[in-house]
Structure 1
Amino acid sequence: MFELSKELEEYRNKVRDYTQKVVKDYAKTMDETNDGGDKIVKDFGEMDLLGMKIPTKYGGLGLGEIAFAIATEELGSESGGASHSLHTQLNALQLLVSVGGDSAKDWIERGVKAKEIYAVALTEPAAGSDLGALQTTAKPDGDELVLNGEKIFTSAASFSTKMVVLARTSGNPGDKNGISLLLIDSKLPGIEIHKLDLMGIRGAGVSYVKFNNVRIPKDSIIGKEGDAFRGAIKALMISRNGYAGIAVGIARGAVEEAINRAATRKQFGKALIEQEWIGFNLADAYIKVEAARLLTWRAASLLDKGVEALTEASMAKYFAAVTAAETTRTALHIFGGHGLNRGSKVERLYRDAKIMEIAEGTNEMQLLAVSRSFQQKK
């Protein structure tokens, strides 16, 4: 059902080759230093990875959502931080495409080549999945807007050149109207950026950002003023499936490590994999990874056909996140004491996996989205 085209096979091999030659070794450095995402993003630009699903009229390759799922899986199998860095740039570009369209063409083209590195400033301390509740404001003052507010978990902020910001240009928290998408310089006076020390996806530049009377030109607004909510929601729902791809990659990487360990480690005269309970646990984990990939590719294929597929993307993200958490725990258990060493691959993937259950919408939010689809059918 999901036989890849020759073009997508070649694309997967390209990303896999880069992952094994560069990311495999670099992942430990990113994790230990909580830095290095800028190098990865620049590599992505040189390899045309940032244009994978961007329409050709904006300088992209137009390969679609399955290509995105493939790339995030390959990178995720070695590093959640590297895969998240790809996801962030594609998320920013998707926002510019969905909200700005042709008016943002130059900025999209620059992002595709990594001439600009974008941070995505959406989530606030009091407004996570509920974007309508955001409180950051951009109020007019002459020919400028004055930006005030706080953003949390702003990906790539610490090394970005530009920020894609959702802010309220009119109305009150709770209103879906009056929300605008802004594109601003990351180094403007009044912007404070504090990199967070997260347990997983380290090196991706995830930061707390505060805007203190930041003065920006009115043409910083992308698309129509006050009309960004619908386009932002669409972009975020699409990006949710990319996060499912990261989770599939983390789960696959953990299972592969566990299989290799169980095949070579001997106890009581035979390999661990010959112990029935270990073999069964690995088989269960392997099956779930395959199922998670199929759910992810199914949602991606529907999105590529122009189907909204919000329910399918939520199912994929939920199941892939749960699978990542379960399989990394299984892998860590099979490695025993060796897996507990800080910096071992399975220990790193275990920490990355937990992020998958929270970021881009918690597991509970995915279940809520799926349950609402039942209600709509009645």
Structure 2
Amino acid sequence: MFELTKEQIEYKEKVKEYAQKVVREYAKSMDEKNEGGEKIVRDFGEMGLLGMKISPQYGGLGLGEVAFAIATEELGAESGGASHSLHTQLNALQLLVSIGGDSARKWIEDGVKGKEIYAVALTEPGAGSDLGALQTTAKQEGDELVITGEKIFTSGASFSSKMLVLARTSGNPGDRQGISMLLIDSKTPGVEIHKLDLMGIRGAGVSYVKFNNARVPKDSIIGKEGDAFRGAIKALMVSRNGYAGIAVGIARGALEDATNRAASRKQFGKSLLEQEWISFNLADALVKVEASRLLTMRAAYMLDKGIEALTEASMAKYMAAVTAAEVSRTALHIFGGHGLNRGSKVERLYRDSKIMEIAEGTNEMQLMAVSRALQPKK
């Protein structure tokens, strides 16, 4: 049976306290203004959260993926945007470790300390989950690389200091070779950043980025030139499970609020919680939240043990995303008209939940990944 260690339990309480004391008060403003992610990330740096799953050799705590799942759930229960901001930074650091290793030590250590805030520019308008089809190019001219292309849904870009850019340095679209990862200054001339006005995870700085012949030094390439595809896929597998953690948190936050509302609200002489259809809906939601958490923790545990968990991470992400959408919708029904008020927590979590079914690979992409496990082994 899976159980948290004493260290993980203590860590959970630390993050939960921060989420309930700080994020809970800040979440509404973050959502309304579509800003505030930078403050949250700075807080994460001061608390040591940015190094939670980074090896001590790079200045991290080395607590692993289980700790990451714990943190994303606790933060997600209060704000999808805040939890997503943590996810973005750790995703960037995972990419630096996976692709750059010791050659990127300085940037990893600076990220762990919160000295640098990173954005991850992978997704393109015409190349979402299919990284091999990316169109952004970085062509060498003398000692410089000239970057041309577009990126969409680039998390953290609007307040980032540095940007990780996946670009083609050789080959043709569709080739897995020839893709490199560049680390550039976000204020590089020729880089245009336009913050998006998304329905959910607001305040996380998700942006459209255009590269208009942006010139950067050739040594901006992290790791081996043309060999970033495999490392990017590996990091995305890990980040997929992080998104499952966010979704579990959103579902749990909605369930807790709906349960409290049902217990305190009386109709026809008894509380809503005593009404059978409501208690059954909440019971169904509880089962799905617990199942989603267990799937997420299983994948995290496997990753911590060095076991490939592509199928398990996809299962967790799919189940948790569907659960977040279902449970937050149930919560809205229980709150009735009060839940429809713009800015109410359940209304905000409902909007956050829809992003979970699309970002980091849609529900359909997760099912496609899981379906491969059904094929006969050769």
Report deviation, 1:74. 0.1
What is the CA–CA distance in structure 1 between the aligned matches of 2:201 and 2:81, rounded to whole Å?
A: 4
Paired position in structure 2 for 1:35:
35
What is the CA–CA distance in structure 2 between the aligned matches of 1:258 and 1:38, rounded to whole Å?
A: 30
What is the CA–CA distance in structure 2 between the aligned matches of 1:144 and 1:211, rounded to whole Å?
A: 15
What is the CA–CA distance in structure 2 between the aligned matches of 1:322 and 1:139, rounded to whole Å?
A: 41
Amino acid at match of 1:320: A
Q: Does the alignment pair 1:191 with 2:191?
A: yes
Paired position in structure 1 for 2:284:
284
CA deviations over 1:115-146 (Å, ceiling 9, x no partner): 00000000000000000000000000001100
Report deviation, 1:25. 0.7
CA deviations over 1:146-167 (Å, ceiling 9, x no partner): 0110000000000000000000
What is the CA–CA distance in structure 1 between the aligned matches of 2:267 and 2:84, rounded to whole Å?
A: 38
Instruction: Normalising by structure 2, report the TM-score.
Output: 0.99
- Runs of 4+ deviating beyond 4 Å: none
- 2:350 partner SS: helix
* TM-align CA RMSD: 0.6
- 2:375 partner SS: helix
Report deviation, 1:3. 1.1
- 2:163 partner SS: strand
What is the CA–CA distance in structure 1 between the aligned matches of 2:88 and 2:313, rounded to whole Å?
A: 17
Report deviation, 1:111. 0.3
- 1:257 partner SS: helix
Aligned identity (percent) is: 83
Distance 1:28 1:376, change over 3 A: farther
Q: Does the alignment pair 1:147 with 2:161?
A: no
Distance 1:265 1:194, change over 3 A: same
Paired position in structure 1 for 2:298:
298
Q: Does the alignment pair 1:159 with 2:159?
A: yes
What is the CA–CA distance in structure 1 between the aligned matches of 2:17 and 2:377, rounded to whole Å?
A: 44
Report deviation, 1:376. 5.4
CA deviations over 1:234-274 (Å, ceiling 9, x no partner): 00011100000000000000000000000000000100000
Paired position in structure 1 for 2:200:
200
Paired position in structure 2 for 1:219:
219
What is the CA–CA distance in structure 2 between the aligned matches of 1:336 and 1:225, rounded to whole Å?
A: 55
Amino acid at match of 2:242: G
Report deviation, 1:373. 1.8
What is the CA–CA distance in structure 2 between the aligned matches of 1:172 and 1:373, rounded to whole Å?
A: 30
> What is the aligned length?
378
CA deviations over 1:269-309 (Å, ceiling 9, x no partner): 10000000000000000111001000000000000000111
- 1:377 partner SS: coil
Report deviation, 1:377. 2.7
Amino acid at match of 1:296: T
Amino acid at match of 2:83: S
Where in structure 1 are there 5+ consecutive unaligned residues? none
Amino acid at match of 1:136: T
- 2:216 partner SS: strand
Q: Does the alignment pair 1:125 with 2:125?
A: yes
- 1:35 partner SS: coil
Paired position in structure 1 for 2:371:
371
Report deviation, 1:374. 1.5
Report deviation, 1:375. 1.6
What is the CA–CA distance in structure 1 between the aligned matches of 2:341 and 2:94, rounded to whole Å?
A: 38
